[in-house]
Each structure stands twice: as structure tokens, then as C-alpha cells.
Structure 1
Amino acid sequence: RDKYRFYACLLRARFDENKNEKDMIKATMMLKAGEEEFWANQHPQPYIFPDSPGGTSYERYECYKV
């Protein structure tokens, strides 16, 4: 937990450094870099809730709805 909290604080600090960015080109580039970092660090087998799209019981009871 301590390790997670440390990295969570570092990530929050990165957001706070750039929260008032006025240059839209730079902000768009930071967004693109952040999305790439997110996809690169994503778990290879993410947890999917059963009722979520792609889950085992997604839309299972649709035929019973009125």
C-alpha cells in the first residue's frame, strides 16, 4: 500500500503541475502522451465485471425485461 500511495501522489503531482495549461497544442500533446502511457501500463488481463460489456452475464436477462 505504501508503494501504491507513493506513486499515486507522484501521478497527482504531475496532474497538478499542468492543470492550468493555456496552450491548447501543448495540452493536446500531453493528453496524447498520457493516453499512450495509460495503454502501455494497462494490465494484460483486466478485470471485467460480469454485468459490464464483455462480461459473462452482460445482457443475460434482456429477454425478461418488459
Structure 2
Amino acid sequence: MLMQFLSSLLPTLTPDNTKIHLAQHNGIEHPMDVYLAGDFDEWQSWQSRKNFECRYVIGLVECCR
């Protein structure tokens, strides 16, 4: 349903050229707190670049505790 909605806004967006990234609590820090502190790039940098080699990357961040 999310992809259908986003594709209606941006027709070139397809499941084959898009990664949906879900940032969630890692047991220590909440991603929204890290983002607001300006440290999000470092926080998620352990992930390989290969995971993000898509034309589009959609980031969803958990914000509730």
C-alpha cells in the first residue's frame, strides 16, 4: 500500500528501484533522538552501502518510545 501511494506521487518509483529503510530502536538509542541530535549518519553507518544502492531510498524513522 505504501509503494502504491508513493508511486502515484512519483511514477518512476518502483519496488525494483527503491529501498525502504526502517530505522528503529537498537536497544540503546531511539533513532529520532539520534536524528534530532545530528548524529543519524554516524548511527546508521554500520550498514553496508550495498543496502542503499537504489535509485530511491525512503527512510522511515521510529519516533515513539
TM-score, length-normalised on structure 2? 0.22
TM-score, length-normalised on structure 1? 0.21
Q: Larger helix proportion, structure 1 or 2?
A: 1
Larger relative contact order, structure 1 or 2 (CA cutoff 8 Å, min sep 6): 2
Q: Larger strand proportion, structure 1 or 2?
A: 2
